[in-house]
Amino acid sequence: MDWKKLSTTKINKVYCGLFLTRCYLCNASCQSTLCKHCEAGFVSNKHHCQRCKRPMTNQKDTICLHCTLFPPPYKACIAPFRFEGITKTLIHHIKFHQGNHYIRPLTYLLSQHLHQHYENRAWPEQLIYIPSHPKRIKERGFCQTRTMSAQLIKQLRQTLGDHSPTLAVPNPLSKIQHSQAQHSLSRTHRLDAPQSVYSVQGRVAKHVALFDDVMTTGSTIENATRLLQQAGAEQVDVWVIARTADKQD
């Protein structure tokens, strides 16, 4: 018996029982990270393209026009929320106002959806995140996707144990060209952006999860997916917290 692992597990249970009995957002008494009222405030991405999870207004369509004409290179996409309402507010606080304490509830909700998706599927071996450029990290003081990925893996290990994906350290994917902040660009300008802003160096597993906080047009995710496939990944699953509707030019 691994007594060290057992003692760590017990300590975690005691810690959770004593200190994690309040909603992370409203401080109401509850037995999970979020109370039911706060969890209900997140806008679910119910009606979406079955391939890229782009929000759709026409519920009769199952595949969006873009995916019909240009099928994405990744195997699956998990994007449980729309980038609006409380989800958008929390992510903006994390990115622009040092609101790192909001990472935990967001990754907690994502982990719940991941467990549902992989209930009868094989989990990825490795988690790789979309990184920020060093200049952007210097401006903000941290890379939010790196911090989110670390917290997400920590939460998954609590339930999956040794079967949890491993966080790639160092991250094989790096951003080598600084570009304008993506949230400030229209769809046309995003799609016209240079394709060679990322590079891959280091080990890439055969089954990879590619993480980003928000997915907009999908161009960054698709470019990164192709790079990982060129580096040896046979299957890439995309994990994002939120998906945006297409911006109008």
Domains in the chain, CATH or no CATH each = 1-40 (no CATH), 41-243 (3.40.50)
Give the model's pLDDT for residue 196.
Answer: 66
- Whole-number Å distance between alpha carbons of 197 and 192: 12
What are the pLDDT digits (tens) for 136-182?
Answer: 888 888 999 999 999 999 999 999 999 999 999 999 999 998 765 55
Do 165 and 125 touch, CB atoms closer than 8 A? yes
Quick: pLDDT tens for 56-103. 887 666 899 999 999 999 999 999 999 999 999 999 999 998 899 999
Structure tokens of 178?
Answer: 């600084």
Q: How much is the pTM?
A: 0.83
- pLDDT above 60 for 185: no
In Å, how far are 15, 92, 162 from 178, measured between CA atoms?
A: 42, 20, 37
pLDDT tens digits for range 6-54: 555 566 555 555 556 788 788 888 877 888 888 888 999 999 999 999 9
Residue 204 is which amino acid?
A: V
Q: Are 82 and 242 in contact (CB under 8 A)?
A: yes
